[in-house]
Structure 1
Amino acid sequence: MDAWDAWIGRSENRQDHIDPALVRRWLAMLDMEELSDDVVPQGLHWCLCTPETATAGLGPDGHPLRDASPNSFLPPVPLPRRMWASSIVEFLTPLHIGEHLSRRSKIMSIAEKSGGSGSLVFVEVEHLTAGAKGTAIREVQTIVYREAAAPDAPLTPPPLGETAFNPADWTTHHIVSPNEPMLFRYSALTFNSHRIHYDLPYATDVERYRGLVVHGPLTATLMLDLASRQFGNNALSGFAFRGLSPAICGELLHLVMRENDAEIEFGAFADDGRPVMAASATRKI
């Protein structure tokens, strides 16, 4: 029997509602204008039904502690570094301001692997978010746990090189520079206390990042915002993203997009062309 078999199929349920103030803060964080109706932007679901662990129940990295008890939704993987590796999202029904929601999360699979950085454990979680008209969003999220970084490990990602990102192969190109206030606001909106996003000494000295790390779903949210500005609000039926390397706070981030037949392709790149995130989407018919 695998060490984590008891966690496969484990589920938890959370309740929430879409508060108008939350939506206004979301729009402010992204420098977006006021909505013309009550349909909320795609990506805001990552601010809903978030874990509400007491501060005393957080681990050294700011995430909820995991143990072997029946109350621990995620398995007690003995690897300290956690990353949101990827997500596959289906947008089934738009969400509306004031709507009451429920979310059922279930662990689909747990897999141990070895990589260039050592042992890895991948945990795949399905999230079903339901509103007044039934299931509105289905998401399969992959979390990866990694070994601790050596105290003298090189900082990652490496310093920016002398090359420059070339957007010539993309039809839409937008440059942002996620800064400390944006990271703080996104952490607050998602109730995410992972210290790599706000605690610079922890990010550099313990996890050996070159600076504060831009949240993976924040980069994905910026891609969704790019699509919204191009195609209109709630234009996508599906969206999938995969993190490739960390985006660092205060550095330019190139967001690009192009259409290939029925699919939309996205990319996020550092200023020197280093790939940060790849994503794809489908538009509603």
Structure 2
Amino acid sequence: MEDYAQWIGRTETRRDIVAAGPLDRLAATLDRSDPPLRPGDPAPPLAHWLMFLPGEPQSALGQDGHPKRGGFLPPVHELPRRMWAGSRMSFPGTLRVGMEVERRSVIADVKQKEGGTGSLVFVTVRHEIGEPGGPALVIDEHDIVYRGLSGAAAKGATPAPAAGGWRRELMPDPVLLFRYSALTFNGHRIHYDREYTVREESYPGLVVHGPLIATLLLDLVRRERPESRIEAFSFRAMSPLFDGRRMAVNGTSPDAEGNVTLWAENADGGLAMKAEARIE
């Protein structure tokens, strides 16, 4: 396999506007009853995931619906499966509707490992988002993992903790997955093309987006502590969730330092994602 360490240190800068429309539609997708956002209103946590979206033309997409390998990220052609493994975020400031923002990105690390399903490549990208030339208002260290097609597409999940004091159950269906794909301009076929997902990538159903699960976990904090400002959030994907099977997001009440433990579980009580948030 090619040595991708040479990609460490590569940078990219993009600009965008914090727009109310996508954020209002995300609230609707999450079944929230928030009033429409207006210029100057604070954007919700994770708003930056709806900005700086890829805009490759249709002819530049691969068979899986993702942009073809190359460009800013290392072109890991040997390992077709690409997944969002986790993130570590802090929110030192506040993004506001109407604000012009800049995302400054750097490839912080590339590691090659051998796992139970074969070779793996982990890429860590550090994003800093703020007004052009200004301090970072959001910092997001984003882990991407590349895997091969050998071995099981989805490993068995370890048991999740007992139901938390905070809990919300829901059924991820193709409509929810489609709406989130549309909001994030995500063409990856595993989220909407069942025939491709089962035949080519050997999953048992449509895969629930990792960032959507993380968003549902942080949304649980916002539902339980609507007046609290979220200072930090991190998550790690443990096993996939699929459409048509119930899932639950769980959380604990904050401790004395404002730390909240969060996790998502599948219909069989297996751990799908674990996370932590810190509130003021």
Superposition pairs of residues 140-219 of structure 1, within 5 angstroms: 140-149=141-150, 156=154, 166-167=162-163, 170-219=164-213
- Report the secondary structure of 1:271's partner residue: coil
Query: Which of 257, 266, 274 in structure 1 is aligned with 2:270?
Result: 274
Q: Hey, which bits of structure 1, 4+ residues long, moved more than 4 A?
A: 163-166
Count of aligned pairs between the two proteins:
271
- Report the secondary structure of 2:222's partner residue: helix
> Structure 1's 157 and 44: CA in aligned 2 closer, same or farther, altered over 3 A?
same
> Structure 1's 66 and 44: CA in aligned 2 closer, same or farther, altered over 3 A?
same
Report the counterpart of residue 230 of structure 1 in structure 2.
224
Q: Spell out, residue by residue over 1:181-211, the C-alpha distance to the aligned partner (whole angstroms, 9 max, x if none).
A: 1111111111111111011111111111110
Give the letter for the 1:75 counterpart. Answer: P
Q: Spell out, residue by residue over 1:38-61, the C-alpha distance to the aligned partner (whole angstroms, 9 max, x if none).
A: 112112211111121111111121
Report the counterpart of residue 248 of structure 1 in structure 2.
242
Q: Spell out, residue by residue over 1:73-114, the C-alpha distance to the aligned partner (whole angstroms, 9 max, x if none).
A: 111112110010010011111211111111111101111000
For the pair 1:135 / 2:136, whether they are aligned, the reply is yes
Q: Does the aligned pair in 2 maintain the 1:14–1:103 contact within 8 Å?
A: yes
- Unaligned runs of at least 5 residues, structure 1: none
For the pair 1:44 / 2:47, whether they are aligned, the reply is yes
CA-CA distance at 1:149 after TM superposition: 3.8
Partner Cα separation in structure 2 for residue 164 and residue 239 of structure 1: 20
Partner Cα separation in structure 1 for residue 195 and residue 242 of structure 2: 14
Give the letter for the 2:138 counterpart. Answer: I
CA-CA distance at 1:11 after TM superposition: 1.1
Partner Cα separation in structure 2 for residue 32 and residue 149 of structure 1: 40
CA RMSD after TM alignment? 2.1
- Report the secondary structure of 1:33's partner residue: coil
Q: Does the aligned pair in 1 maintain the 2:24–2:36 contact within 8 Å?
A: no
Deviates more, 1:119-128 or 1:56-65: 56-65
Kindly, what percent of the aligned residue pairs are identical?
A: 39
Give the letter for the 1:179 counterpart. Answer: D
- Report the secondary structure of 1:86's partner residue: strand
CA-CA distance at 1:250 after TM superposition: 2.1
- Unaligned runs of at least 5 residues, structure 2: none
> Structure 1's 16 and 234: CA in aligned 2 closer, same or farther, altered over 3 A?
farther
- Report the secondary structure of 1:61's partner residue: coil
Q: Does the aligned pair in 1 maintain the 2:118–2:150 contact within 8 Å?
A: no
Report the counterpart of residue 63 of structure 1 in structure 2.
66
- Report the secondary structure of 1:229's partner residue: helix
Partner Cα separation in structure 1 for residue 93 and residue 162 of structure 2: 36
Partner Cα separation in structure 2 for residue 127 and residue 63 of structure 1: 20
Give the letter for the 2:139 counterpart. Answer: R
Q: Spell out, residue by residue over 1:108-157, the C-alpha distance to the aligned partner (whole angstroms, 9 max, x if none).
A: 1111000001000000000111137631110101100001246xx5x636
TM-score calculated relative to the size of structure 2: 0.90
Query: Which of 231, 235, 239 in structure 1 is aligned with 2:233?
Result: 239
